[in-house]
Amino acid sequence: MPASSDGPATLSPARIRFALLALALGGFGIGSTEFVAMGLLPNLAQDLLPGLYATAPDAANAQAGWLISAYALGVVVGAPTIAAAAARWPRKQLLLALLAAFTLSTIASALLPAFGLVLVARFVAALPHGAYFGIASLVAADLMGPGKRARGVALVLSGLTIANVIGVPLITWLGQTTGWRVSYLVVAAIFAATFVAVATLVPLQDGNPHATMRSELRAFGRLQVWFALMIGAIGFGGLFAVYTYVAPLVMEVTGLGAGAVPLVLVVIGVGMTIGNLAGGALADWSVRRTMYLFFGVMLLALTGLALSAQSVPGLLIGVFLVGAAASGLSPAIQTRLMDVSHDSQSIAAALNHSALNVGNALGAFLGGVVVAAGYGYVAPVWIGLGLSIIGLLLTVGTFRLDRTLRRSGLVLPYGTDVIQVMDAA
C-alpha cells in the first residue's frame, strides 16, 4: 500500500466510480491496440509483406503474426522493468507517463512504412502495458477497499474485455474498409483521451517510499511466484493460439466472409467481459476454486471448438467459451500473484501481464508454426488445448505445494487461500 492515498474512506462513491472508469478506459485502449492486429492479420500481411502474400498467403499471415508476438514480448520486458524501477513514483504521475508513451508509440506504429519498423514500434508500444495494468490494479484495489481486491482488478481489466466487444470489432471493421493504419490512429486517440481522463478523475496516490529495485525483484526468489507466472504464461496460450488466427479460422475453416470477422470478435469480447466479471467476484471468494473452474471450462471449450469450427454454431459457442474462460482466469491469477509476492506488490501486479503475454507470444508462435507447416487453421486450437492442459497441471501443483508447506508449518493464511512465506532471496 502507498504511504498515503485517497481511498474509500475519504472519497465519495461517485468520485471512486469515475476514477475506476478512467482507469478502465486505459484498459479499453490497451485491449484495442493489443487485439486489433488479430482481426486485421490478413490486411497487415497484404500491406506490409506484399510479395510474400502474393505467392504464399499462409506464410505471409504466419509472418505477420510476429507483430503480435513482438507486442507480447514488449509486455514481458516492460512490465517488471518499469514496475520495479518506478515503484516509488506517485502512482497517478506514473500512469500519465505510461499513457503518453502509449499514445506516441501507437502513432509511430500507424505511420512507419516497412514491416521491420512496424515490428519494432509494436515492441516499444507494448513496454508500458503491464506496468499500466499493474499500477492501475493497485490504485483500483485501494479505492475499492478491503475484501474487494479481485473485483477492483476485474474492473480495471473490464476495459480490456469491453474493448473486445465494442472497440476491437469496430476498429477491425474500420481497418478493413479504410486501411489498418487508420485503425491504429484511432487507438492512439483513445490513449490521448485516457490521459485526459486519468489526469482529471484519478486521485493522487503516493508510491511505496520504502520500495527499491532490490526489494521488488525479491519476488523472483519465491517459488510460488514462479508457479503463478508459469500458469499465466503457458495456460493462457490457449486463448491466444485461437485469437491470433481467428480471422483465417472464420474465413478458411468455417467458410464465412471477411465481414463476419468483426462479429466473431464481438462474440469473443462478450465472453471475455462476462468471464472477467465472474472471475473477479469468484476470486474474492476462492482463488483456488476459481482457477480450477475456469481451466475446466477452457479445456472443454477448446476441444469443442477444434471439433466443430466448421459449423457456425460450433465456432460461435467455442470462441465465446474460450474468451470467457481465459478472462475468468485473469483476475484470479492477478490476485494469486499479489498474494504470494508479499511486499513486492508493484512488480507482482505487473508481472501477471508479462506472464499472460508470454502466453500471447507462445500461442501466436506455436500456432504460426503449425499453420506454416500446412496443418491448417484448426491446428492452433489443438496447440491451445495442449498449453491449457499444462496450465491446469501447474495449478494443481501450486496448490498442492501450499498444502505441503502448510502441514510443515511454513505458510500463513492470507485472504481466502494459503500462501508460501518462504523467501529464497
C-alpha pair distances (Å), 16 with each of 8, 95, 159, 280: 7, 17, 16, 18
Cβ(424)–Cβ(218) under 8 Å? Answer: no
Please enumerate in sequence order all residues whose Cβ is within 8 A of that of 88, keeping only pairs 6 or more positions apart, or say none.
207, 208, 209, 211
pLDDT exceeds cutoff 60 at 362: yes
Encode 308-335: b = buried (16+ Cβ within 10 Å), e = exposed: ebeeeebbbbbbbbbbbbbbbbbbbbbb
User: What single string gives the DSSP state of each residue in 40-109?
Assistant: THHHHHHHHSHHHHHH-HHHHHHHHHHHHHHHHHHHHHHHHHHHHHTTTS-HHHHHHHHHHHHHHHHHHH
DSSP state of 311: S
pLDDT at 414 over 60: no
pLDDT at 74 over 60: yes
**Rounded percentage of the chain residues whose pLDDT exceeds 90:** 28
Question: Is the pLDDT at 83 greater than 80, yes or no?
Answer: no
CB atoms within 10 A of CB 257: 8
Domains of the chain, with CATH numbers? Answer: 13-418 (1.20.1250.20)
Sheet strands (E) in 78-198: none
Residues 275-289 pLDDT 10s: 888 888 888 788 889
Mean pLDDT value across the chain? 82
- CA dihedral over 307, 268, 70, 344, signed as positive or negative: negative
Is the backbone of residue 7 left (phi > 0), alpha (psi -120 to 50) or beta?
Answer: beta
pLDDT confidence of residue 424:
38
pLDDT of residue 107: 95
| pLDDT above 70: residue 343 | no
Q: What band does 4 get if pLDDT is binned at 50, 70 and 90?
A: very low
Q: How many CA atoms lie within 13 A of 64 on its CB side?
A: 29
Of residues 348, 340, 331, 338, the one with CA closest to residue 412: 340
pLDDT tens, residue by residue, 124-160: 999 998 889 888 888 887 787 666 667 777 777 788 7
Which residues lie closer than 8 Å to 374 by C-beta, 6 or more apart? 58
Model pTM score: 0.71
pLDDT at res. 244: 81
Grade residue 346 by pLDDT with cuts at 50, 70 and 90: low
C-alpha 367: how far from chain center: 18
Better-scored residue on pLDDT, 266 or 293: 293
Q: What is the mean pLDDT of residues 363-386?
A: 88
| Residue where the block lists cell 464481438 | 266
The answer, yes or no, to whether residue 121 has pLDDT greater than 90, is: yes
